[in-house]
């Protein structure tokens, strides 16, 4: 594995939409940090080909940097050059409980 083999670069990593520095590994079924070294045998780089397959299968991808949904290959190719693109996201339904109340 290289220095670039971190969880966020794995096809199985789903970033948290509100806290993108953490996410969920769908293989290990556990929370992982964005830059945590991917030491598992299931690590698979999130290549452009893998992302194209996922886009075709599910109809969307997510750009972590822009926080936008990607719907077509042209958009994907633009984002993937400089941004982290994920095949999914984790939505924390309890995040509202962490917000401060307003008087």
Q: Write down the pLDDT at residue 21.
A: 84
pTM over 0.75: yes
Q: Is residue 81 part of a domain?
A: yes
Q: Write down the pLDDT at residue 38.
A: 75
Q: Write down the pLDDT at residue 37.
A: 82
Overall domain count for the chain: 1
Residue 85 to residue 81: CA distance in whole angstroms? 10
Straight-line distance from the first to the last Cα atom of the chain, in angstroms, rounded to the nearest whole number: 51
Q: Is residue 2 part of a domain?
A: no
Q: Tokens for 16?
A: 């948290």
54-80 as b/e: b if 16+ CB within 10 A = bbeeeeebbbbeeeeebeeeebbeebb
pLDDT per residue of the chain (103 residues) written in tens, 0 to 9: 455 788 888 999 999 988 878 999 999 999 988 787 877 888 888 899 999 999 999 999 999 999 999 999 999 999 998 998 999 998 876 655 566 666 5
Range of the domain at 28: 7-90
CB 43 within 8 A of CB 10: yes
Strands of 85-86's sheet, edge to edge?
68-70, 61-63, 85-86
Q: Is residue 23 part of a domain?
A: yes
CB 57 within 8 A of CB 64: no
Q: Write down the pLDDT at residue 48.
A: 94
Q: Write down the pLDDT at residue 100.
A: 64
Neighbours of 10 (CB within 10 A): 23
């Amino acid at each position: 594995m290289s220095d670039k083999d971190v969880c966020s670069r794995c096809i199985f990593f789903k970033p948290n939409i509100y806290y993108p520095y953490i996410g969920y590994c769908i293989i290990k079924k556990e929370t992982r940090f964005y830059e945590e070294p991917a030491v598992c045998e299931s690590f698979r780089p999130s290549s452009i080909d893998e992302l194209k397959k996922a886009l075709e299968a599910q109809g969307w991808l997510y750009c972590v940097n822009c926080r936008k949904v990607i719907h077509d290959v042209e958009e994907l190719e633009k984002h993937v050059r400089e941004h982290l693109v994920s095949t999914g996201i984790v939505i924390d339904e309890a995040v509202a409980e962490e917000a401060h109340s307003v008087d």
